[in-house]
Amino acid sequence: MITLSGIIGSGKSSLTGILARELGTQAFFEPVEDNPVLPLFYKGNEIAAKKRAVGDKEATNPYAYLLQTYFLNRRFKMIKEAMQDDNNILDRSIYEDELFMKMNTEMGNATEVEYQIYKSLLNNMMEELPYAAKKKSPDLMITIKVSYETMIKRITKRGRKYELIENDPSLINYYKRLLKYYDDWMNSYTVSPLLILNGDQYDFVGNMADRVKVLEVIENKLLLLKKIPDSKIEKLKEKHHILFK
């Protein structure tokens, strides 16, 4: 089982689909378009930032805790389903979930009480996960690391209005903070082997040569971890050669 991680616009969902087709396995995508809370959260961030700007130091985002518990519930359900079989790929995992709630608390968007309740809920879920699933942890975590410039370019291309910095300038600070929190998370992650990909260097969506390179890096890592047989690797690399030609 492979899990993907990375900031907004890093290409998690795109790489999840590419890997699923490459390895002949099922992809699990976190729903975004039908999320009723996400637009409210972004609007709440804007409202809280404006209140703090005029001196209301206690202003919080009323939707921060709601959004994170909504995501936590979905991610727990998704990883339980994915861990029932041996070969699946998730475009987002429960393992990075806490960093969002931690950041929102430290930014003042959520209260310390909300954060502690959230952590208690998360810890209870993680204790239950080994009993509810076939695996205790992913076989590989892949993180796509991108710069602020690359993230903004991809967010703009995607075109979700509530994610655009031109519609909400407070998102500039939010996104830059989130990049720092992801760096800290990558340095502290120990649940499974971690592979960090340079999302600035490789355009695995639009450039076939870059895609082949990224796939080979991932497959070599899986081979090293003894999660994929030598014979399958050779067949995959032969396919890469044909595609690249």
Catalytic residues: 91
DSSP annotation of 109 reads S
The annotation places the binding site at 6-14, 30, 42, 68, 92, 97, 154-158, 163
C-alpha 212/C-alpha 236 separation (Å) is 10
The annotation places the binding site for substrate at 30, 42, 68, 92, 97, 163
Whether the CB-CB separation of 156 and 164 falls below 8 Å is answered with: yes
Whether the CB-CB separation of 140 and 104 falls below 8 Å is answered with: no
Report the 3 state secondary structure along 43-108: HHHHHHHHHHHCCCCCCCCCCHHHHHHHHHHHHHHHHHHHCCCCCEEECCCHHHHHHHHHHHHHHC
Whether the CB-CB separation of 125 and 68 falls below 8 Å is answered with: no
C-alpha 22/C-alpha 237 separation (Å) is 11
DSSP annotation of 161 reads G
Look up residue 71 and give its amino acid.
F
The annotation places the binding site for ATP at 6-14, 154-158
